[in-house]
Every structure is written in C-alpha cells, then in structure tokens.
Amino acid sequence: MLICPVCSGELTKNGNTYKCSLNHSFDMAKEGYVNLLSGKHKAGELIGDNRDMAKARRLFLETGHYDFLAESICSHIGGNDNVLDISCGEGYYTDYFRRKTGACASGFDISKEMIRLAAKKYKETFFFVANIARIPVKDESVDVAVQICAPFSEKEFARILKKDGKLLSVVPGRKHLWEMKEVLYSTPYENNEDDTVYESLILTDEATVKSTVRLSTPEEIMSLFAMTPYYYRTSDEDKAKLGSLPYLETQAEFTIRTFTRR
C-alpha cells in the first residue's frame, strides 16, 4: 500500500528498510514506525503536534470518555477493510478500530512525537510519519479513510480511496465542550457547522453523536483542555478558572460526515 514520497514508486520492505525501484530508502525507527516525509521536512524539524500535546491526548483518550465516538466509527468498518487513520495522533483510535473490528488499520501523522508514542504502544498496528498534502499511499487502495478533528486534503483523500471506499470525516459539533467553554469565556460561541461542498467527494451521510463527559479530577479536566485549540488562545487567568475546578461535567458532540468518491 505504501509508495515513495519522492517518486511515488511502490515501496518494498527489506529487513528494516523500505525502498523504491529508484533506491530512495526509508529506515524503520526502533519503535517500528517509518518516517515517509520527504524534502525539507525530512531533517526532523519539529512540525505537527509536540510531545506535551501528544501526552495530553493520550492521557485523556485512555480515560475512555471519547469511546462513544470510536464505537460509532467502528459501526462503519468491516472486518476485511483496509482502514487508514489520517492524522491519527498518538494512535488510540487507530488501534481501537483494529481491535474492535478486526480490520487492517494503519495510521499516519505529520508529528513524529505522536507517531513515536503510537508505535511504541500499539505494536499490532502500523504507523508512519507523513503529510496529508502528499499521502504516501497507492491510488485507490483504501476501503475506509478516517479523519478525526484534523486538516482536510480533498484531492489526496479522493485519490487514495477505492472506487467504493469511503471517508469518515469527524468534526466537533455545535455544542462540543459547551460547559467547558462556559467556564473559560464570558460569551462562549457555538462551533460552526461545516457545509463545504467538494468537487471530488460526495457527502452521503451526516450523523451527530454525543455524550456527557464527567471529568472527575483536575488532571482529567486539564488533559482534555490541553488537547483543544482553546488551550493556546486562553489567558493564564482564564486557564486558572478551569484548573481550580474539582470536577466538570460537559457535553461532547461530534459530527461524522461520510463521503464517497465522485
């Protein structure tokens, strides 16, 4: 399924190295992932989410509070499917899909920190470092592409999907984390609904899933907060308001949009 990020030729694995016919080669890291970034990114300059963000995400997802979302996605996946988790972060959902459905799941992210954590923990799931702008995966090779709260690349998503494949794109719903926003902001705003129309992808289904999340320790509250975009836009004073709460109950709401190829 993997192709060379430099010339797009097929990659074959020999020992711990992936190579194309033009001899571009990519070594597996000791954790078992492969870095398929090319060009200036290859040097390892820090891009994507950093280590603290990766750790906060792991801490929170492992509480199971977002498993309702993972379960809902699993209901769209068949046991024989080839699943690609796009911008998979630290791999919690990717491995969840494999475990729960038996599908062959792999994930990639532009952040080496995220992928390092993912590969270290989830040994039965394959991970690689790559950019959605140039996904090193063969044309028409993916049954189900999953993209959770991450950037969108229409052309690439359409290219990698099989003719009858589908893309499950997850975005935060209108009232996602509403009660957390009420603590942080005097006038909280609802999230906008995304109604972008794409040229090469057809929207075939849209569903909202929600759950009440009970965060029972300040650590849980802060780990959820640290994985939101608000974390970087909130003053220290407002952060302290959240940090002083002993617990927090908030709604979590996601929209799952299913697309097929046009």
Question: Would you tell me which residues interact with ligand SAM (CB under 6 A)?
Answer: 48-49, 57, 87-89, 93, 109-111, 114, 131-133, 148-151
Smaller CB distance to ligand SAM: residue 189 or 232? 232
Site for Zn ion in 3-22 (CB under 5 A): 4, 6-7, 9, 20, 22
Smaller CB distance to ligand SAM: residue 46 or 207? 46
**With CB cut-offs between 5 and 8 Å by kind, which of Zn ion, ligand SAM, none does residue 230 bind?**
none
What count of residues does the chain have? 262
**CB 112, CB 85: distance < 8 Å:** no
Smaller CB distance to Zn ion: residue 36 or 70? 36
Q: Rounded to an integer, what distance in angstroms lies between the CA atom of residue 146 and that of residue 256?
A: 10
Q: How far is the CB of 23 from ligand SAM (least distance, A)?
A: 26
**With CB cut-offs between 5 and 8 Å by kind, which of ligand SAM, Zn ion, none does residue 149 bind?**
ligand SAM
**With CB cut-offs between 5 and 8 Å by kind, which of ligand SAM, Zn ion, none does residue 48 bind?**
ligand SAM
Q: How far apart are the first and last CA of the chain?
A: 22
Smaller CB distance to Zn ion: residue 88 or 130? 130
**CB 172, CB 254: distance < 8 Å:** yes
Q: How far is the CB of 164 from ligand SAM (least distance, A)?
A: 24
**With CB cut-offs between 5 and 8 Å by kind, which of ligand SAM, Zn ion, none does residue 114 bind?**
ligand SAM
Site for Zn ion in 18-77 (CB under 5 A): 20, 22, 24
**HSE-CB of 180 using CA atoms within 13 angstroms:** 28
Smaller CB distance to ligand SAM: residue 114 or 215? 114
φ, ψ for residue 40, nearest 5 deg: -65, -25
Q: Rounded to an integer, what distance in angstroms lies between the CA atom of residue 120 and that of residue 199?
A: 38
Q: How far is the CB of 59 from ligand SAM (least distance, A)?
A: 12
Smaller CB distance to Zn ion: residue 22 or 240? 22
- In sequence order, which residues have a C-beta less than 8 Å from that of residue 60 and are 6 or more positions away? 66, 220, 223, 224, 226, 227
Geometric angle at alpha carbon 191, from 219 and 185, rounded to 5°: 55
Three-state SS for 162?
strand
Which of 184, 144, 191, 151 shows the shortest CA–CA distance to 167?
144
**With CB cut-offs between 5 and 8 Å by kind, which of ligand SAM, Zn ion, none does residue 9 bind?**
Zn ion
Three-state SS for 235?
coil
Smaller CB distance to ligand SAM: residue 15 or 229? 229
Q: Rounded to an integer, what distance in angstroms lies between the CA atom of residue 143 and that of residue 235?
A: 43
**With CB cut-offs between 5 and 8 Å by kind, which of Zn ion, ligand SAM, none does residue 88 bind?**
ligand SAM
**CB 105, CB 85: distance < 8 Å:** yes
Residues binding Zn ion (CB under 5 A): 4, 6-7, 9, 20, 22, 24
